[in-house]
Amino acid sequence: MTNQNIAASVKTHQQEMIAFRRDLHAHPELPWEEVRTTQKVAQALEAIGIPFRLTKPTGVIADIKGGKPGKTVALRADMDALPVLELNEDLSYKSQTAGKMHACGHDAHTAMLLTAAKALYENRAEMRGNVRLIFQPAEEIAQGAIEMVKQGAIEGVDNVFGMHIWSTSPTGKVSCNVGSTFASADLLKVTFKGRGGHGSMPEACVDAAVVASSFVVNLQSIVSRETSPLEPAVVSIGKMDIGTRFNVIAENAVLDGTVRCFNVENRERIKAAIERYAEHTAAMYGATAKVEYIYGTLPVINEERSALLAQSVIRSAFGDECLFAEKPTTGGEDFSFYIENIPGCFALLGSRNVEKGTDWAHHHGCFNIDEDAMVKGAELYAQYAWSYLQQDKF
């Protein structure tokens, strides 16, 4: 199932991988700004000897041609950082740009995929088929995968694999479940318009604050009373912009929120229910409502055969004890756009180590990874590709 030469090659490049990751961590770049990161990846690929092309405005697509005919499997890593202030004061590779940080592990993803590329390239003569390498920008704003697909990232690809460093799972554990892994992640904006006036004369007004408050309270019934308890879903309002002054009845209320679920049918039903709740709540108070529903990521649903292959690779490469069944998360991942029309799967690579302080939540200013996990991550990238291409039938 696994290739021992690949395992040995990954370990040989371990220190280079860590150094590359630390360099990216020190120089974080936000979505669509990954110019330096793109250049670093391109330079590394050129040094290995792997042909590549740059995507616009940032990003890299590369191909490793095997010595034997076969299918094409794609491996994806995201590269962007977050607008987060790093709070790790004792790191020699702390972010050098205030307010920007690799607070989600994308620096590690990029370094692991490059190391996997080295291992696969060194063993390409025996490889059946080809490996597509996708170094993707702008995952954090759910735009990068769509753009990479538009620019040909999965043209001619038969299967695609990706992974994410995961701070809630212990270092050494890897999960790749069949079925639901990440939820769809959509944005919601609701605007209520009432009639403002003096706070001492509410009878002459339509209070947008009351309308909005009623809407928020009742909105939860969409999940608790209109959604099956066997179908997880989240409807959350995270921001409310209402009113201008303590003694003025608010004329306008603008609410921002998010919707998360695991299937497209449920997503559409919830969207329709939100629109209905907004319209009826506004009408009850004599206000008007406008709903803007912005589709974000699709749910990540691991295709069965791909996930089972990944599980076999994990057992074969690292031992049965390393395979871990992580619960699905209602977080979003734009990897979903790669598997919209072709089979594939997405794994979670444990990096939680309390002693090393790598147990902080993703997107927190103290987030960091246990770099011991990176060898497993790089090898999993490479071994999945190798094993998929070795299959006579898939």
pLDDT at 394 over 90: no
With CA atoms as reference, report the closest residue to 368 among 142, 84, 98, 14.
84
Strands 252-261 and 233-242: what pairing?
antiparallel
Residue 88 has pLDDT above 90, yes or no: yes
Mean pLDDT across 24-46: 98
Q: What is the dihedral of CA 257, 263, 331, 370, to 10 degrees?
A: 180
- Using DSSP's 3-state secondary structure scheme, residue 22 falls into helix
What pLDDT sits at residue 392? 79
Residue-level pLDDT at 1 = 64
Report the DSSP beta bridge partners of residue 265. Answer: none
CA-to-CA dists, residue 266 to 48, 180, 301, angstroms: 46, 14, 14
Distance CA 383, CA 4 (A): 9
Indicate the residue type of 115.
T
- pLDDT band at 2; cut points 50, 70, 90: confident
Residue-averaged pLDDT of the chain: 97
Residue 228 has pLDDT above 70, yes or no: yes
Indicate the pLDDT class of residue 393, thresholds 50, 70 and 90.
confident
Domains and CATH numbers, the chain: 4-183+299-390 (3.40.630.10), 185-297 (3.30.70.360)
Closest by CA position to 22, among listed 83, 88, 99, 108: 108
Binding-site residue positions = 104, 106, 140, 164, 363
pLDDT in tens, 307-348: 999 999 999 999 999 999 999 999 999 999 999 999 999 999
Please give the average per-residue pLDDT across 7-34, as a whole number.
98
> Which residues are annotated as part of the binding site for Mn(2+)?
104, 106, 140, 164, 363
Question: What is the mean predicted confidence (pLDDT) over 21-44?
Answer: 98
Angle at 77 between CA 72 and CA 83, to 5 degrees: 155
Q: Is the pLDDT of residue 117 over 90?
A: yes
The model's pLDDT over 203-219, given as tens digits with 9 standing for 90+, comes to 999 999 999 999 999 99
Of 243, 251, 245, 261, the closest CA to residue 188 belongs to: 261
Tell me the per-residue pLDDT of 266-294, one tens digit each, with 9 for 90 and over. Answer: 999 999 999 999 999 999 999 999 999 99
